[in-house]
């Protein structure tokens, strides 16, 4: 059965696709769809059974709440208890866009959608196909990233197909995403706004609108620290490639020397190794497999390709991966948060 429907051409016939998707959602089914960050796996956020199906399709623990995607600001008022003034200011500045706000939920939102919490995470995505899909589905789409739990988030429809074929009813193909890492999450339920997950919208951008913003101490993602993250999903080991990933930190030349030494040793032992490099440094490596994730002087290119590159390593059945540190100026916090998790915090300093 063909479950992939492309809306890339933007033709009149797309209307039929959105209508079909909406019908599936109203019947409690699941539809994967593109957003500007990563692909989402959508179900009716106000239908507890649909939320249950999302957890089952992903193989995700049900204490990990889902983000509710909306297409109009009025939908925010309809599902929350009270909206602080800060939320309106953030919406004005960043919605539609890659920002998720955590607010107090009201009775309309079932606990199955929020993983048992009294709060709900809400986002208005900036992607034509996502907004059309949400509008055609009566306005409230619960959606985690459309990957199997533990796999890198999908940044194109082929990634979704690889993980979800046979588990969901439909995939809307809107091409490759623009950003490539999941939305920034901010909790507005406390006295001071708190960043729960870094993303494209940086802490500086948030502070320009809000003034003081706290950072959840668990954000470093270091599972050896005894702090419980406020975003339950941040505690899981995510994005893990099948091969063992190490981050090698230091000055570019020394990093390359050490990585070359380690990949040569791996080869001698008969282990298939690979390097995750940036375009500027690619030429420094001697390993048989060197993947350039993007350019240091274009950090958005690194964010866009990170998850796809991790999936490529799986496809090549690589056993060992050595990565450069990707601490770029603005998105570095978001990028390194994902890379550190993928590496289970294995760092080699040179
Ligand atoms: O960019 C994105 O946000 C993508 C696209 C599809 O919109 N979605 C996404 O969803 O990344 P997911 O499920 O992979 O990540 C949601 C994160 C999890 O870490 C979860 O624990 C947290 O949001 N979260 C959801 N509801 C929350 C709540 N009420 N309080 C705290 N954290 C919450
Ligand atoms: Mg996810």
Q: Is 155 in the pocket of ligand 1 (CB under 6 A)?
A: no
Query: If residue 129 lies in a helix (H) or strand (E), which one and from where to where?
Result: helix 128-136
CA dihedral 162, 163, 165, 166 (to 10 degrees): 150
What is the predicted pLDDT for the residue at 224?
Answer: 59
Spatial distance between the Cα atoms of 333 and 52, rounded to a whole number of angstroms: 32
Both tokens assigned to 315: 């496809």
In the reported structure, the alpha carbon of residue 183 is separated from the centroid of ligand 1 by a whole-number distance in angstroms of 8
Edge-to-edge strand ranges of the sheet holding 273-277: 290-292, 273-277, 320-324, 244-249, 347-349
In the reported structure, the alpha carbon of residue 67 is separated from the centroid of ligand 1 by a whole-number distance in angstroms of 5
Q: Are 268 and 341 in contact (CB under 8 A)?
A: no
Spatial distance between the Cα atoms of 336 and 319, rounded to a whole number of angstroms: 21
| For range 336-343, the mean pLDDT | 94
Task: Tell me which ligand sits closest to the C-alpha of residue 143.
Answer: 1
CA distances to 46, 142, 179, 190 from 115, rounded to whole Å, are: 13, 12, 27, 19
Provide φ and ψ at 348, rounded to 5°: -115, 120
pLDDT tens readout for residues 127-183? 999 999 999 999 999 999 999 998 999 999 999 999 999 999 999 999 999 999 999
In this prediction the pTM is 0.96
In the reported structure, the alpha carbon of residue 161 is separated from the centroid of ligand 1 by a whole-number distance in angstroms of 21
Q: Which residues of 165-192 are buried (b: 16+ CB within 10 A; e: fewer)?
A: eebbbbbbbbeebbbbbbbbbbbbbeee
Does residue 221 have a pLDDT over 80? no
Q: Is 182 in the pocket of ligand 1 (CB under 6 A)?
A: yes
Q: Is 275 in the pocket of ligand 1 (CB under 6 A)?
A: no
Confidence of residue 271 (pLDDT cuts 50, 70, 90): very high
CA distances to 51, 241, 248, 264, 320 from 269, rounded to whole Å, are: 47, 21, 20, 9, 12
């Amino acid at each position: 059965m063909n479950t992939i429907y492309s809306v890339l051409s933007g033709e009149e016939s797309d209307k039929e696709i959105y209508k079909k998707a909406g019908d599936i959602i109203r019947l409690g089914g699941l539809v994967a769809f593109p957003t500007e960050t990563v692909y989402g796996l959508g179900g009716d956020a106000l239908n507890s059974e649909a939320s249950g199906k999302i957890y089952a399709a992903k193989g995700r623990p049900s204490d990990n709440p889902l983000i509710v995607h909306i297409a109009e600001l009025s939908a925010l008022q309809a599902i929350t208890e009270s909206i602080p003034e800060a939320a309106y200011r953030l919406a004005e500045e960043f919605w539609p866009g890659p920002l998720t706000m955590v607010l107090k939920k009201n009775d309309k939102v079932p606990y199955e959608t929020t993983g048992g919490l009294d709060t709900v995470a809400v986002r208005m995505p900036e992607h034509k196909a996502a907004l059309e899909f949400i509008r055609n589905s009566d306005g409230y789409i619960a959606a985690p990233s459309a990957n199997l739990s533990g796999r890198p988030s999908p940044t194109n429809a082929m990634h979704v197909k690889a993980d979800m074929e046979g588990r969901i009813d439909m995939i809307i193909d809107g091409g490759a995403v623009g950003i490539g890492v999941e939305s920034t999450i901010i909790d507005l339920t406390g006295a001071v706004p708190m960043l729960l997950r870094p993303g494209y919208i940086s802490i500086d951008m948030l502070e320009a609108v809000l003034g003081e913003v706290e950072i959840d101490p668990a954000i470093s993602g270091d599972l050896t620290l005894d702090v419980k993250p406020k975003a339950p999903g941040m505690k899981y080991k995510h994005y893990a490639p099948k091969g063992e990933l190490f981050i090698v930190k230091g000055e570019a030349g020394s990093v390359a020397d050490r990585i070359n030494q380690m990949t040569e040793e791996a080869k001698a032992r008969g282990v298939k190794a690979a390097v995750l490099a940036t375009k500027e440094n690619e030429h420094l490596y001697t390993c048989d497999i060197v993947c350039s994730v993007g350019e240091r002087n274009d950090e958005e290119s690194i964010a866009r390709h990170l998850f796809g590159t991790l999936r490529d390593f799986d496809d090549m059945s690589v056993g060992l991966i050595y990565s450069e540190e990707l601490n770029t100026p603005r998105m570095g916090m978001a990028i390194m948060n994902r890379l550190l998790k993928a590496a289970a915090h294995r760092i080699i300093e040179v």
